[in-house]
């Protein structure tokens, strides 16, 4: 009798039965909805978004040569660079921009530098000029069809400063000395057909001297220094720009309301990485040069090509791409 009474007491009430029934119906409804969604998903036709418009193909290659510093050029790095020019092919390279400081103009021409070591007194201007002329010979032999723009750097500027100082700032005499010893004369740039852009003149309607615009990119030797030099140059130009001067491979990017994405690069250098005037302070300089793949509209893709230990890897990379 007790067991029967307990069983009766444990039986759910009518209210509880209604609540259980309602929950069951709700769960059945959810299951049906899930089944319908799965069926719709199974029938749906998925497609990838349309491919974005591609930039038109590369029309030519522009080579950007950073600081080489004449008689203190780094021979293994220069050899690797010249080998790359041959690998790239004369038909592809249509423009060459030299960013300046391709003469060292040290010794007596570097009056603001104090000579601390006997080794620094071995410098001769003739050796410097001969080294740069030899480099220009090799570049023009490798790329005979490519016009060359040569931007004056702060080291070439030492020649004009020397002319002005020696003539006690006499205009006519300073100009006479400049015609004898200036960069254009000692490197025979006019005879070579190389365009020279002096630091004392303005070009292409730009507000900064010794700066040019090729396609959609500015080129300048640069005056900024330090770790943020490339980013600072980007801010100065508010446009795409390549500079030399700092000897360190670097890149920076940003966005402007007017131009959209903008980039700045320094390719590094092709000179000795540890000059005596740095004493025992190691530099963070790096060897390399710049390549720009330019299309008909002037848009470009820039590549800083590193050279490490006198070895460049752009040749094998090009072979892989062509394979």
Interval 97-134: pLDDT, tens: 999 999 999 988 988 778 889 988 888 999 999 999 99
Residue 56 clears pLDDT 80, i.e. is over it: no
Tokens 């309602």, located at residue: 22
20 domain residue, yes or no? no
Tokens 């508010």, located at residue: 238
Please give the tally of structural domains in the chain: 1
Instruction: For 274-291, write each residue's pLDDT tens digit.
Output: 999 999 999 999 999 999
Q: Which helix (H) or strand (E) holds 243?
A: strand 241-243
pTM, two decimal places: 0.82
The pLDDT, as a whole number, for residue 68 is: 98
Q: What is the domain range of residue 202?
A: 60-322
Average pLDDT estimate for 259-276: 96
The pLDDT, as a whole number, for residue 310 is: 95
Residue 154 clears pLDDT 80, i.e. is over it: yes
241 domain residue, yes or no? yes
8 Å CB contact between 229 and 222? yes
Average pLDDT estimate for 177-196: 95
Residue 184 clears pLDDT 80, i.e. is over it: yes
Check residue 199 and report its DSSP letter.
T
23 domain residue, yes or no? no
13 domain residue, yes or no? no
Name the pLDDT band for 305 (thresholds 50, 70, 90). very high
> Measured between alpha carbons, how far is 85 from 1 in angstroms, rounded to an integer?
107
> Measured between alpha carbons, how far is 128 from 203 in angstroms, rounded to an integer?
28
Residue 317 clears pLDDT 80, i.e. is over it: no
30 domain residue, yes or no? no
The pLDDT, as a whole number, for residue 11 is: 63
231 domain residue, yes or no? yes
Average pLDDT estimate for 125-144: 97
What residues have CB less than 8 Å from 164, skipping those under 6 apart? 174
Residue 29 clears pLDDT 90, i.e. is over it: no
CATH code of the domain containing 246: 3.60.21
Average model confidence (pLDDT) across the chain: 89
Residue 21 clears pLDDT 60, i.e. is over it: yes
| Percent above pLDDT 90 for the chain | 66
Is residue 140 packed enough to be buried (19+ CB in 10 Å), middle (13-18) or exposed (0-12)?
middle
| Of the candidates 302, 169, 243, 113, the residue with the CA atom closest to the CA atom of residue 233 | 243
Residue 295 clears pLDDT 90, i.e. is over it: yes
Provide the residue count of the chain. Answer: 323
8 Å CB contact between 118 and 263? no
Position with higher pLDDT, 74 vs 13: 74
180 domain residue, yes or no? yes
User: Which of the residue ranges 52-56, 150-154, 313-317 would you say has the lowest mean pLDDT?
Assistant: 52-56
The pLDDT, as a whole number, for residue 143 is: 95
51 domain residue, yes or no? no
Strand-by-strand arrangement of the 300-308 sheet? 195-197, 148-151, 93-98, 60-65, 287-294, 300-308, 311-312
Position with higher pLDDT, 67 vs 17: 67
Residue 6 clears pLDDT 80, i.e. is over it: no
Cα angle, residue 198 at apex, residues 179 and 144 outer, rounded to 5°: 90
Q: What share of the chain is helix, strand, coil (3-state, %, to 5)?
A: 40, 20, 40
């Amino acid at each position: 009798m007790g067991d029967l009474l307990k069983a009766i007491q444990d039986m759910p009430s009518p209210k509880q039965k209604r609540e259980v029934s309602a929950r069951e119906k709700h769960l059945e409804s959810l299951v049906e909805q899930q089944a319908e969604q799965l069926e719709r998903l199974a029938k749906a036709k998925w497609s990838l978004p349309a491919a974005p418009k591609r930039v038109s193909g590369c029309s030519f290659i522009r080579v950007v040569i950073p600081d080489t510093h004449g008689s203190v050029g780094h021979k293994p790095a220069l050899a690797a660079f010249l080998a790359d020019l041959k690998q790239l092919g004369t038909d592809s390279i249509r423009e060459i921009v030299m960013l300046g400081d391709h003469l060292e103009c040290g010794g007596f021409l570097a009056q603001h530098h104090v000579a601390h070591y006997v080794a620094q007194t071995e410098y001769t201007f003739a050796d410097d000029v001969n080294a740069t002329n030899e480099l220009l010979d090799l570049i023009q032999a490798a790329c005979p069809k490519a016009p060359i723009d040569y931007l004056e750097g702060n080291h070439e500027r030492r020649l004009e400063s020397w002319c002005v100082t020696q003539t006690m700032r006499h205009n006519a005499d300073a100009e006479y000395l400049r015609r004898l010893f200036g960069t254009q004369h000692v490197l025979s740039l006019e005879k070579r057909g190389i365009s020279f852009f002096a630091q004392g003149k303005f070009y292409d309607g730009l507000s900064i001297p010794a700066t040019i615009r090729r396609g959609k990119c500015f080129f300048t030797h640069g005056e900024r220094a330090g770790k943020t030099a490339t980013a600072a140059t980007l801010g100065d130009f508010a446009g795409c720009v390549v500079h030399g001067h700092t000897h360190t491979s670097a890149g920076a990017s940003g966005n402007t309301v007017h131009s959209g994405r903008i980039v700045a690069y320094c390719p590094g250098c092709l000179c000795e990485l540890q000059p005596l005037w740095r004493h025992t302070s190691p530099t963070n300089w790096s060897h390399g040069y710049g390549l720009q793949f330019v299309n008909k509209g002037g848009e470009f893709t820039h590549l800083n090509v590193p050279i490490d230990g006198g070895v460049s890897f752009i040749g094998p990379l090009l072979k892989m791409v062509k394979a």
